Amino acid sequence: MAVDHAKLDVFMGQLVAGPSTSAELAARTGTTERYVREWLRGQAAGGHVTSDPPTWSFSLSEEQAFALAREDSSAFIPGAFQVATAAVTERFFRPGYAANLVDSWLSALAEVTAKLAAGATVADVGCGHGASTFLMAQAFVNFIFVGFDYHAPSVARATRAAADAGVSERSRFEVASASTYLRTGYDLVASFDCLHDTGDPVGAAKHVRQSLASDGTWLIVEPYAGGSGRGQPEPGRPVLQRLDAGLRAGVAVPGGRTRSRRAGRRGGDERRRHRRWFQQVPAYQGESIMTTHTTFDPAALSRAIEERDAQHQLALYSDDAEVRIIDRFNPPRSPRILVGKDAIRIWIEDVVSRDMTHRVANLVVGDGGVALTEECRYPDGTNVLCSCTAVLRGGLISKQSVVQVWDDPVTPADPTPR
């Protein structure tokens, strides 16, 4: 999100004067609080301002003020900043698309790639300059890809670029938002790095669902940039954090300011907000959420276990996964064996329905495998220790061994304490 030179001087001058919240800074500068909030968090993620998460106030250290707020300083550098434009952003994400879109993301969806090879209808929603659309059109030549974007200049550029890339006969581009694009019966709708930008993500999700064929698929790819902006930038992700905090506001706020503010403040945590988006789409309620992984996300597994989230736990297993459970009533010579996601779902749902806490004490991920120790506790003080090892395939759990022990006697009437 760009801030013009004059406004930047005002903002930085206010921060030099002392700590300010986004609401206080917006009131003093006559600007929109939501824009100011996203801008401040983006600057904090990049280390350009200092944040205090308990109070969500922002200020400048002496060093930051010397470089960013004092024009008479020998180190004053705002004039050298380059504002991120749509073209710069596309160039930033394009290498990731080229490396993963066809060979990793689409190849993980076997039924979808079979349809693509035979001929299917595909919508690339939020296509921008068309980089993702071109890659799909070059890989699959039996049908036409349609790219939609609300930004008319981007659509015009994508149309010209399609001709340069030699795919104009297999792709076309139209001006439409994620909630208004036309036609139904799509075999695949793809949303690359754009769902979090929509002002009304619930409305967009409902529209996508309505536009899909009965056996259609919605492929969602989002950058793992970190959601809170609290404290210091997470290692390896400061650029993504700044892009996420800054660029999304310029799109999301004008398109759905009230809905976006409400979704962002209730529930607080970004992951819970994303989960609510799907829960508000009727067709997805009560169904498992399909997730495509190119690498295993240990943090997602830990969160799902500790939050007793059955859907997101199940999403980390392959369709043909096998789980072996060893406990008092299932000794090593005759373990309980679960094969396939239906059987695993019943087991996980039983576990999360029990009145106990879950804590992942240790979690280690190596080449092709993951191991963890889970500590569970019932309200009566009964402790259960669960040790798990798993083999990974394509970023998903394909085989898992579970050994669980507990410190209270267990009767045959309740053979699975965990």
Tokens 């754009």 belong to 194
What tokens appear for 153 in the block? 């200049």
Ranked by mean pLDDT, the top range of 192-196, 258-262, 287-291, 370-374 is: 370-374
Point out which residues pair with 406 in neighbouring strands: 384
Question: What average pLDDT does the segment 336-346 reach?
Answer: 93
Say if residue 320's pLDDT is above 70. Answer: yes
Q: Are 373 and 360 in contact (CB under 8 A)?
A: yes
Question: What average pLDDT does the segment 141-150 reach?
Answer: 88
- The amino acid at 211: S
**Cα–Cα distances in Å, from 245 out to 82, 201, 220?**
16, 17, 19
pLDDT at 293: 40
Which CATH architecture fits 298-406?
Answer: Roll (3.10)
Mention every residue, 6+ apart, whose C-beta is less than 8 A from residue 252.
196, 197, 198, 199, 260
88 pLDDT tier (thresholds 50, 70, 90):
low
* Helix, coil or strand: residue 72: coil
What tokens appear for 334 in the block? 């005759």
Q: Which of 366, 220, 372 is nearest to 293 (CA)?
A: 220
Q: What is the DSSP string of 229-284?
A: --SSPPTT-HHHHHHHHHHHHHHHHHHHHHHHHHHHHTT--HHHHHHHHHHTSGGG
pLDDT at 388: 92
pLDDT at 263: 36
**Cα–Cα distances in Å, from 31 out to 14, 34, 147, 281, 397?**
13, 9, 34, 34, 48
pLDDT at 264: 36
Distance CA 39, CA 340 (A): 46
pLDDT at 75: 58
Query: pLDDT tens, 42-75?
Result: 788 777 788 887 788 888 887 777 777 666 555 5
What percent of the chain has pLDDT above 90?
Answer: 19
pLDDT at 225: 53
182 backbone φψ class: left, alpha, beta (φ>0; ψ -120 to 50): beta
pLDDT at 294: 43
pLDDT at 265: 37
- Where would I find the beta strands (DSSP E) of 30-81? 50-52, 57-59
Distance CA 387, CA 222 (A): 31
Q: Report the top-level CATH class of 86-222.
A: alpha beta
Q: Which of 35, 41, 46, 50 is nearest to 2 (CA)?
A: 35
Q: Which of 146, 115, 112 is nearest to 130 (CA)?
A: 146
Query: pLDDT tens, 97-117?
Result: 887 888 888 888 878 888 888
pLDDT at 417: 47
Domain ranges of the chain: 5-83+235-265, 86-222, 298-406
H helix count then E strand count, the chain: 14, 14
Distance CA 369, CA 398 (A): 10
Say if residue 298's pLDDT is above 60. Answer: yes
194: DSSP letter: -
Whether domain 5-83+235-265 has CATH 1.20.1250: no
Question: What average pLDDT does the segment 352-375 reach?
Answer: 86
pLDDT at 123: 94
pLDDT at 321: 92
pLDDT at 259: 38
40 pLDDT tier (thresholds 50, 70, 90):
confident
Which of 155-164, 167-176, 262-271 shows the lowest mean pLDDT across its residues?
262-271
Distance CA 238, CA 185 (A): 39
Query: pLDDT tens, 191-240?
Result: 998 887 777 788 888 899 989 988 899 999 876 555 444 444 444 444 44
Question: What average pLDDT does the segment 140-163 reach?
Answer: 90
Say if residue 289's pLDDT is above 60. Answer: no
More confident residue, 164 or 12: 164
393 pLDDT tier (thresholds 50, 70, 90):
confident
Distance CA 33, CA 259 (A): 15
